[in-house]
Amino acid sequence: MDNVLRLDSGFAFDFSNLFGPGRVTQEDVASVAAKLAAAHSAVERMRATGVVEGHLSKDGAPELVLFTQLPYVQEGNLNTPSSVRRLLSFGEGLRHHTDAVVSFGIGGSFLGNKVLFDVQCGEFWNSKDTQARNGWPKCYFSGNNIDPRRTSELLAQLLAEAKSKAASGSYAEPYRVLLIVISKSGATLDTMSTFMVMLDALQAQAPQIEVAVAVVTGPPVAGEPTLLGRLAEERNWPVFAVPDGVGGRFSVFSEVGLLLGACVGFDIEAFLAGARSMDEACRTPEVRRNPALWNAALKYLAAQRCGCRTEIFMPYGDYLKSTAEWYVQLLAESLGKRLDRTGREVHYGRTPVVAVGTTDMHAQTQLHQDGPRDKVVQFVQVDRWAEDPLIPDLFPAVPKLTEISGLPMSRALDAALASNATALAADGRLTATFHLPEMNAFHLGELLYILALSIAYEGELAGVDAFDQPGVEAYKKILGPLLQEQRRVRTGC
């Protein structure tokens, strides 16, 4: 049987160097057949009802898991035709009107949004003029760390842009900034502290700077809005939803991620269509035809049978680095668990590591090739690039440089990936490759969704709750009183 699972969209999962003799074997898969069947049934139940066995919220109450609903835009779902129209209308209203958007969020509220921005806009977006951006605003990110220097420098950047706009003769038009603040509770320390610093400083620059705020927060609890929701009500800020039943690391398919996408012209409908297409491909119980279940099975077995408890997530493309960073949180928070569902101490988890090809072929590959045999290297390859410059023969007298001339850059990139994979496989190292036909919204939706659904399946295989995160509560219990004590010392009250 071919060791590449191909979808009609062109998306493919090449597991040739992860499955077979000396790797995860058919016998390994057969030995967990009952677990695989049970995992598929559990995920089907989750899809149909939102129920995950034993899953509780951090408050100890039963909680539904609803992220698999998000790709399906229909009445009664978390994403509806009217909610998508509202997002598109809101984003369109910023074009040729708002100069800059600043998105405040941490965890999934930052990482997922950064993925959409990087694929849509790229590194040099904010250096382009309005025409080159097709009227869409500049975009900045904050709230993902309580960093005084960067917060101050971002503020200085916005003030400098406002001054430049005034100097250009457009002083009659204020510099317009939209602050998007994302917090389910409304009390997220990192997000709210940077947001308050920025809002206060920008409001002080009126009328030269005009500040608007949009809020993304959780639904009311017992009829009471969240802290952030109450602020929005009092100040008439538009409110978007952090839906119940969707953890932050899965929230990129909800308004948490889609709002930022709509603000920079990202095709949110194609993105959801890609996620939907992947979900539909993963409905089959036939393990080797179900991309997410098969991916989860191979990674789980590679850890259990081959000792590969580290996953190097290595896209070959600079603008997919944030995808690797998003995946690190997804895997680490979902699967790093002290207890299984029976209460047995298992300390389950696989350690995810960010890498980028070809960058980390010069930084990490020495370890991948010669270090401990405890890794799976997961490559991501883009098969067709929208722009693909030809490497010129500028120095014909230099044979080493002439050898690479005449090649499109993508061919050189693909050759680098192939050489890395081949060298690793020759030494019995485990690798796999996701193929994206193109880097666009649809195929990005496919990629992020297969990763999210794979985590759900692996949680079932390992017998752990992939949707809670009790470990983070330990530091939060220490942090709150510590901050209160520091405030008391500083203010005397």
The answer to whether the beta carbons of residues 183 and 109 sit under 8 Å apart is: yes
Residues 237 and 317 in one domain: no
Closest CA to 8 of 270, 278, 253, 384: 278
HSE of 493, CA atoms in CB hemisphere, 13 A: 0
What order of strands is seen across the sheet that includes strand 310-315? Answer: 4-6, 12-14, 430-438, 375-384, 310-315, 351-354
Boundary (domain end) residue, out of 213, 248, 266: 266
> In this structure, are 430 and 312 located in the same domain?
yes
**Residue 482 falls within a domain, yes or no?**
no
* Amino acid type, 462: A
Residues 281 and 295: their CA atoms lie apart, in Å, by 13
Specify the number of domains making up the chain. Answer: 2
The per-residue pLDDT for 60 is: 85
DSSP summary character for residue 408: B
Q: Are residues 138 and 85 in the same domain?
A: yes
Is the confidence at residue 483, as pLDDT, over 90?
no
Contact of 195 with 154, CB cutoff 8 Å: no
b/e per residue 135-146 (b: at least 16 CB within 10 A): ebbbbbbbbbee
User: What distances in angstroms separate CA 235 from CA 102, 124, 193, 209, 238, one per listed residue?
Assistant: 19, 34, 18, 18, 9
Tokens representing residue 119 in the block: 């694929």
Are residues 128 and 87 located together in one domain of the fold? Answer: yes
- Residue 477 domain-assigned (yes or no): no
pLDDT digits (tens, 9 = 90+) for 423-471: 999 999 999 999 999 999 999 999 999 999 999 999 999 999 999 988 6
Q: What value does the mean pLDDT take over residues 107-113?
A: 96
Give the separation between CA 356 and CA 395, rounded to whole angstroms: 29
Looking at the predicted structure, is the pLDDT value of residue 296 above 80?
yes
CATH number, position 158: 3.40.50.10490
CA dihedral 32, 35, 37, 39 (to 10 degrees): -140
Kindly list the distances between the CA atom of residue 232 and the CA atoms of 1, 92, 183, 228, 299, in Å, as whole numbers in the listed order: 57, 21, 12, 6, 44
- Does residue 29 carry a pLDDT above 80? yes
Whether 186 is in a domain gets the answer yes
Interval 202-215 mean pLDDT: 97
Judge if 98 and 74 occupy the same domain: yes
Q: 338 and 233, same structural domain? A: no
Q: Is residue 124 part of a domain?
A: yes
Among the residue ranges 153-162, 168-177, 183-192, the one predicted with the least confidence is 168-177
41 and 87 share a domain? no
Among 57-61, 105-109, 415-419, the minimum mean pLDDT is found in: 57-61
pLDDT band per the 50, 70, 90 thresholds, residue 1: low
Q: What is the CA radius of gyration of the chain?
A: 24
Does 34 lie in the same domain as 101?
no
Distance in angstroms (rounded) separating the CA atoms of residues 302 and 19: 9
Average pLDDT over residues 375-389: 98
Q: Look at residue 309 and tell me if it is in a domain.
A: yes
* Residue 479 forms part of a structural domain: no
Query: Which of the four pLDDT bands, split at 50, 70 and 90, describes residue 490?
Result: confident
Residue 222 confidence (pLDDT): 84
End-to-end CA distance of the chain: 71
Looking at 266, 290, 320, the residue that finishes a domain is 266
Do 358 and 442 lie in one domain? The reply is: yes
Q: Do the domain assignments include residue 484?
A: no
pLDDT at 169 (0 to 100) = 74
Instruction: Please choose, from the candidates 150, 12, 153, the residue with its C-alpha nearest in 3D space to the C-alpha of residue 447.
Output: 12
Q: What's the pLDDT score for residue 422? A: 98
Residues 304 and 400 grouped into a single domain: yes
Q: What is the mean pLDDT of the chain?
A: 95
Angle between helices 441-462 and 108-120 (to 10 degrees): 150
Same domain for 297 and 149? no
Residue count of the chain, please give it: 493
Nearest residue to 52 (alpha-carbon basis) of 478, 487, 456:
456
Lowest mean pLDDT among 40-44, 287-291, 309-313, 400-404: 400-404
pTM of this prediction? 0.96
For 217-252, write each residue's pLDDT tens digit: 999 988 899 999 999 999 999 999 999 999 999 999
251 and 392 housed in the same domain: no
Mean pLDDT, residues 374-399: 97
pLDDT exceeds cutoff 70 at 360: yes
Give mean pLDDT, residues 305-310.
98
Reference 378, options 293, 452, 316; nearest CA is 316
- Which domain does 309 fall in, by range? 4-60+274-472
**Band of residue 475 on the pLDDT scale cut at 50, 70, 90:** confident
In-domain check, residue 33: yes
Q: Per the omega criterion (within 30 degrees of 0), is the bond before 358 cis?
A: yes
pLDDT for the residue numbered 62: 92
Question: Is residue 88 scored above 90 in pLDDT?
Answer: yes
Query: Which of 24-38, 71-85, 218-232 shows the lowest mean pLDDT across its residues?
Result: 218-232
Q: Which residue has the tokens 């009471």?
A: 224
Task: Give the residue numbers annotated as catalytic, written as ranges.
Answer: 333, 362, 476
pLDDT, residue 172, reads 73
Residue finishing a domain among 244, 266, 288? 266
Q: Decide if 9 contacts 443 (C-beta within 8 A).
A: yes
Half-sphere exposure of 343 (CA within 13 A, CB side): 0
pLDDT of 170 higher than 70? no
pLDDT the model gives residue 133: 98
